[in-house]
């Protein structure tokens, strides 16, 4: 038997920071499912597939062999044998990924991979549909959110620290657009599972959120 914690929520809510810390604390593996959608997006970009061409994406996703390995505890995503992790965190890939993630064939393929992983390992998995679709029987489901303003400010700080020029209003608008696409798509839209605990991190520090979620898990397991 394996344990699983599902963390869903909109872009920039702090899911990966929080999920990583929880996984480390519990000795579970952290699975960043967004990175899988980003790897599939990267594949389509390199194949020159247009974002409007859902048919080509559906056919071609079968040619993308996506797998996950761990190096020093960090998730690495391999696409057809190549470690593509360094190319996945750009704003361009992130915004395109929310379009690619509306494709049913892409989702079927990646959900299967995610479910296989959770069968063999204790996992903290983050994404948009983990509690509602990928792991409906997760031991704990969390819906982690924060206001668009807070999320944009966090992203702005992160990019500025990396010396990347950016505009906070543009970031906030991208976040609002991405939320809309993720929440309004037909297949597995982003929504809080009925049995998920809502955590609004707008006024909470990282450690506060981590210890709250750990406490919830201990109560349930
Ligand atoms: O979490 P992220 O920003 O890396 O995710 C990139 C995109 O992938 C996001 O816009 C929505 C999509 N996604 C999804 O639809 N389902 C998931 N389980 C994870 C991500």
Nearest to 103 by CA among 43, 51, 177: 51
Same domain, 132 and 219: yes
Residue 110 CA, closest ligand 1 atom number: 18
Quote the mean pLDDT of the chain: 95
Most ligand 1 atoms within 8 A of CB, residue of 77, 128, 133 to mutate: 128
In whole angstroms, give the CA distance from residue 124 to residue 142: 11
Same domain, 218 and 168: yes
Residues 106 and 133 in one domain: no
Domain end, chosen from 87, 121, 155, is at 121
Which residues lie across from 123 on neighbouring strands? 4, 29
34-37: Cβ within 8 A, 24+ apart:
34/97, 34/126, 34/127, 34/128, 35/75, 35/77, 35/85, 35/88, 36/66, 36/68, 36/77, 36/110, 36/113, 36/114, 37/97, 37/100, 37/101, 37/106, 37/110
Whether residue 59 is found in the same domain as residue 138: no
pLDDT number for residue 28: 97
Domain boundary among 76, 97, 121: 121
Distance (Å) from CA 185 to ligand 1 centroid:
12
Mutate to test the pocket of ligand 1, among 13, 36, 127 (most ligand atoms within 8 A of CB): 127
Q: Per residue in 108-158, pLDDT tens?
A: 999 999 999 999 999 999 999 999 999 999 999 999 999 999 999 999 998
Paired tokens of 3: 């344990």
Strands of the 82-83 sheet, one edge to the other: 66-71, 74-79, 82-83
The verdict on 116 and 127 lying in the same domain is no
Q: Does residue 127 have its Cβ closer than 6 Å to ligand 1?
A: yes
Cβ of 98 closer than 6 Å to ligand 1, yes or no, is yes
Are 200 and 142 in the same domain? yes
Query: Are both 68 and 159 inside the same structural domain?
Result: no
Mean pLDDT of all residues in 36-43: 98
Cα 34 to ligand 1 centre (Å)? 4
For ligand 1, what atom is nearest to the CA of residue 178? Answer: 10
Residue 193: what pLDDT? Answer: 98
Q: 11 and 67: one domain?
A: no
pLDDT band at residue 73, thresholds of 50, 70 and 90? Answer: confident
| Whole-prediction pTM | 0.93
Structure tokens at 23: 């996984």
Count of the separate structural domains present in the chain: 2
Assign residue 219 the CATH number of its domain.
3.40.50.300
Query: 11 vs 140, which has greater pLDDT?
Result: 140
Whether residue 79 has pLDDT greater than 90: yes
Buried b (16+ CB within 10 A) or exposed e, 44-59: beeeebeeeebeebee
* pLDDT tens, position by position, 178-213: 899 999 999 999 999 999 999 999 999 999 999 999
Q: Which residue range forms the structural domain that includes residue 91?
A: 33-121
162 token code pair: 């990396």
Task: Give the DSSP per-residue string, 129-159.
Answer: SIIIII-TT-SEEEEEE--HHHHHHHHHHHH
* Percent of the chain whose pLDDT exceeds 90: 90
How many angstroms separate the CA atoms of 144 and 192, rounded?
9
Do 221 and 203 share a structural domain? Answer: yes
Distance between Cα 45 and ligand 1 center (Å): 17
For residue 9, report the distance from its CA to the centre of ligand 1, in Å. 9
């Amino acid at each position: 038997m394996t344990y699983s914690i599902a963390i869903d929520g909109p872009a920039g809510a702090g899911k990966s920071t929080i999920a990583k810390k929880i996984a480390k604390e519990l000795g579970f593996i952290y699975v960043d499912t967004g990175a899988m959608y980003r790897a599939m997006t990267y594949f389509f970009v390199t194949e020159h597939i247009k974002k409007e061409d859902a048919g080509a994406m559906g056919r071609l996703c079968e040619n993308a062999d996506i797998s996950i390995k761990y190096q020093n505890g960090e998730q690495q995503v391999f696409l057809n044998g190549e470690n593509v992790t360094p190319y996945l965190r750009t704003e361009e890939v992130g915004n395109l990924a929310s379009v690619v993630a509306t494709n049913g064939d892409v989702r079927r393929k990646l959900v299967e991979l995610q479910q296989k992983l959770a069968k063999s390992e204790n996992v903290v998995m983050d994404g948009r549909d983990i509690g509602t679709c990928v792991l409906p029987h997760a031991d704990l489901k969390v819906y982690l959110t924060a206001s668009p303003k807070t999320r944009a400010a966090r992203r702005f700080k992160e990019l500025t620290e990396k010396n990347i020029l950016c505009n906070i209003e543009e970031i906030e608008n991208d976040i609002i657009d991405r939320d809309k696409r993720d929440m309004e798509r037909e297949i597995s839209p982003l929504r809080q599972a009925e049995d998920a605990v809502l955590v609004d991190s707008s006024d909470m520090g990282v450690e506060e959120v981590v210890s709250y979620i750990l406490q919830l898990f201990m109560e349930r397991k």
